[in-house]
Chains A and B, each alone.
Chain A
Amino acid sequence: METASPLLRFDGVICRFGEVTAVGTDGVGVSCDLARGSFVALVGASGSGKSTLLKTVNTLVEPTGGRVLFGGEDVTHLKPARLRRRVGYVFQGIGLFPHFSVAENIAIGPRLAGEKLPPERVAELLELVELDPVYATRMPDELSGGQRQRVGVARALAGGPELLIMDEPFGALDPVTRDALGRKVRELHETLGLTTVMVTHDMAEALLLADRVLVMDKGALVADETPRALLAGAGGTVAQRLVRVPREQAEQLAALEGLEESGA
C-alpha cells in the first residue's frame, strides 16, 4: 500500500498553549509520514496530545512549530474552506446543526463551496452509512445517538474527501452501535479508497480497525507499529501497557467461557 509520496506528513510539529506543550517534547516536534490508503490509529491516554496533533491537519489547531504537509502542501497555506472540504472530519461531539435537516447537514460542505448537493447524492450518502433515505428530511433531534453519528460520517464524506480524520468518533456511543459503526467506517475506507486517521484511547478499537497504530505519550510519538507487531510485543512499555488492557480482558472472557485459546 505504501507509496513514495505520503498524503500527509507531520514535520517536527510542536503545539504549545502558553506554558503547556501539548505536542512535542523538549523542543523536538512530532514527525511522521502517512501513506495514501492507510488506516492509521492514533492512540494514547488523555492529555497525550493525540487530538491536538489530529486537529493540526485541518488547521483547527495551528502548530507553534513545524509544519503539516497535505499532498506536499503546508496546510496553513491552503484556504481553510478548501482544505476542510478535502479533509472529512468526524468527532465525538458530532455537532450536527440542530436547525438543519439531515439532508442540509450532509450538504453543508458542498453548499459552502457554492455547490448544491442533489437529493440522489444525499440518499446515496445515507445508504453508505446504512440509514434509510427517508431520514433526509428529519431534524437531528429526532435521531438516536448512533444515527446522528452516521449522519456525521455522511457529512464528512459528502465533499468526496481524500482524507478522513476522526477524533474519538465512537466515544459516546453504546458498544453495539460502536462496533457496527466501526466496521462500517473500515468498509467505507476500503470501498472509497480513503486515507483515514482515527484518534482513540481504546487500543482494542485501534488494533481491530487500523493497519498502523501510532502511540503518543506526553506529546511524543513513542510507537509506530502494525497491530500484529504490537500484539507480538513490539512498541515499548507505553504501547504494551495499552495493549495489555484488551488482551487481559479477552483472556478473562475466554477463561469465563472455558475456552483454551484466544485470538484477535
Chain B
Amino acid sequence: MGSIWDILPGLTDKLAAHVVLAACAIGLAILIALPMAVWASRSPLVSRLALSLASLVQTIPALALLALFFPLLLSLRSVFGEGLPTLGFLPALMALTLYALLPILRNAVTAQANLDEGVLEAADGVGMTKWQKLVLVEAPLSAPFIMAGIRTASVWTIGAATLATTIGQPSLGDPIFAGLQTQNWALVLAGCLASAGLALAADNLLWVIEVGLARRKRWMTFGGMAIVALGILAALWGQRSEDAERPIVIAAKQFSEQYILAQLIGSRLEAAGYRVEYRDGLGSAVVHSAVAASSVDISVDYTGTIWANFMKRADNPGREAVYETIREWEARQNKVRVLGRLGFENAYAFAMRPDRAKALGVTSLADLVGEGGSLTVGGDPEFFERPEWLAVRDAYGLRFGRTRNFAPTFMYDALRSGEADVISAYTSDGRIAADRLVVLADPKGALPSYDALLLLSPRIADDPGVAAALQPLLGAISVEAMREANYAVDREDAGKLTPKQAAEALAKKLGL
C-alpha cells in the first residue's frame, strides 16, 4: 500500500478528465444561464419558473441525477440512433450542467434586479438600444455578481464530478470509489485531496477574476481568465491521446472481486496486444445495460443476477438450464456474447457469527423462522429490492425485526460489531472463511445459482483475438482461489494487496 504522496502523481489522467468535465459543465451552464437570466429580467413569470426549476434540480441528490441520465439517453437512442453515448462523458456533462445552473442563474437574475434605476434610465436617455444597454451597462455591472455565482457553481461541480465515476466517466472519483470498496484509505484520501485542491484552486482563481471585475482591475480579470484557460488547455492536452482508436473498456461493479477480475482480464488482453481501459465502480444495473450498449466491452456478471433482475424470472430450473437459457437470451436479446463461466459461484448466502448462531441454535434458513422477529438483517444497498430476497423471504416465511443497508465491505464490520445479526454475504467472499462465519443452509433451494460469467459487448463479440486471450480464464477460477484473492484485497493488516497485485497473484496461481 503506497502512501498518499506516491498515489497523487499517478492521478494526473483523472485530474485532466475531471478538469475537462467540470469546465465543460460550467461553460455549458453559463451559456444556458446567462441568456435565461436576461429573459428572466424581462419577464417575472420566466424568472420565477426558471429559478424554481433550477432549485428543483438541486433537491435531487447528485448521484441520482447522474444515474437518471443513463435511462434517459438510452430511450433517446430511438431518436438519435445507436451512436448516442449513454455512459461516460455525455450523461455526466448533462447532469453536472443542470447542477451548475442554479447558482449562476440566481446570481445573474438578482444582479439584474438590483441594477440602479437611474443608470438604466440614463442608458435609455443617451439612446442605447436594448442590446447596447445589455452589453455596455447591464452585463458589466452584473459581472461581479455573476462571477460569484460561477464560483459557487464551480466548487459544487468539481465536488459533484467525483460522482461521475459511477456512470463510467473517469474522474477524481475513481480513486475515491476504488479506495472505499477495497478499504484503501490512502487512495480515498488522495482522491479527496486532489478534488478538494482543484476546487480550492478554481475558487481562488475565479475570486481573482471576480475582484478584477468589481474593482475594474483589468490585469486581475484577464490574468485570472488566462490562468483558467491555460489550466483547461493543459487538461485537454493531457487527454489528447484518448482520441486514438477506442481501447477495450473493462467494467467493474463496486466490490473487490470485480476490481480484481477486471485487472486480471485487462492484463490478459494487454499481453495479447490490446489497449485497455477500466471503468470501475459502476452500479450493477448500469453495467449490464452498458455492455449491451457497447458503452463498455467486457464485464463479469452472475447468472442469478441476470436471471432475476434482467430476465425477470422467478423460477429455478437448475444451474445448467439457467446458464444455457441466459447464454441464448443474451445473444438474441442484447447481442451480448456470453464467453463462458469462470468456474466459481458468487451466490448470495446468509451468514452469521458462529457464537451468535450457536447461541440461537441456527444452522439453516429454516431455523430463522422462529427467531427472525428479534434479529437485524444487513444487506448490500440493492439486496432488499432484489427478487432473491423476496424469494427467500417467501419460501421460508421469514420476518426480521429490522433490515439495514450497508456497503458490501462494511457488512462484515456490522456483523462483527453486532449491528447486524445476519448478513447477505457472498459465497466467494474471503471474509466468510477469515471470520469463520456460519453460512446458513438453504434446504428449499430458494437462492438461485450465481455462476460468474464473462460477457462481451456486441462491439467485440466476434473478435477472435479477445476470445482467445480470455479462453484460459474459463472454468479456471475455483471459489477457493477467488476467496483468497478477495480476502487479500479486503483484509486490513499487512498482507493487504491492491486489486492489481491480487490479480497478479491469482494469475500466477492459475499458471497463466
Contacts and interface: CB of A to CB of B under 8 A. Distances in A.
A139 B214 CA distance: 13
B495 interface: no
Given A97-B119, A97-B137, A112-B132, A91 B127 contact: no
Interface stretch (A65-73, A78-86, A174-182, A197-205): A78-86
Contact of A99 (B129, B132, B216): B216
A91 B125 CA distance: 9
Which 9 A-B pairs give the minimum distances between C-beta atoms?
A95-B122, A93-B118, A84-B127, A95-B118, A89-B125, A81-B127, A109-B126, A95-B119, A99-B140
B116 to A, nearest CB: 7
B122 A97 contact: yes
A131 interface: no
A108 B123 CA distance: 9
Interface string B153-194: 000000000000000000000000000000000000000000
A112 B127 contact: yes
A80 B122 CA distance: 13
Interface string B122-161: 1111111100100011001100000000000000000000
B126 A112 contact: yes
Nearest to A139: B216
B463 interface: no
A85 B124 CA distance: 11
A212 interface: no
16 contacts: A81-B128, A81-B129, A84-B126, A89-B125, A89-B126, A91-B125, A93-B121, A94-B118, A95-B116, A95-B119, A95-B123, A96-B119, A109-B126, A109-B127, A112-B126, A112-B128
Nearest to B137: A97
Interface in A213-252: none
Contacts of B120: 95
Contacts of A155: 126
Contacts of A48: none
A98 interface: yes
B117 interface: yes
Contacts, number: 62
A52 interface: no
Contacts of B136: 97, 108
A96 B122 CA distance: 7
Interface residues of A, number: 23
Interface in B335-369: none
Given A94-B118, A97-B137, A98-B119, A58 B125 contact: yes
Contacts of B129: 80-81
A162 B161 CA distance: 60
Contacts of A113: 127
B127 A95 contact: no
A85 B117 CA distance: 21
A139 B120 CA distance: 18
Contact of B125 (A84, A99, A139): A84
A254 interface: no
Interface in B83-135: 116-129, 132
Given A81-B127, A82-B127, A93-B121, 6 more contacts: A60-B125, A84-B126, A91-B121, A91-B122, A93-B119, A98-B116
Most buried by A among B116, B117, B126, B132: B126
A85 B129 CA distance: 12
Nearest to B125: A89
B123 to A, nearest CB: 8
A262 to B, nearest CB: 38
Contacts of A95: 116, 118-123, 125
B127 A83 contact: yes
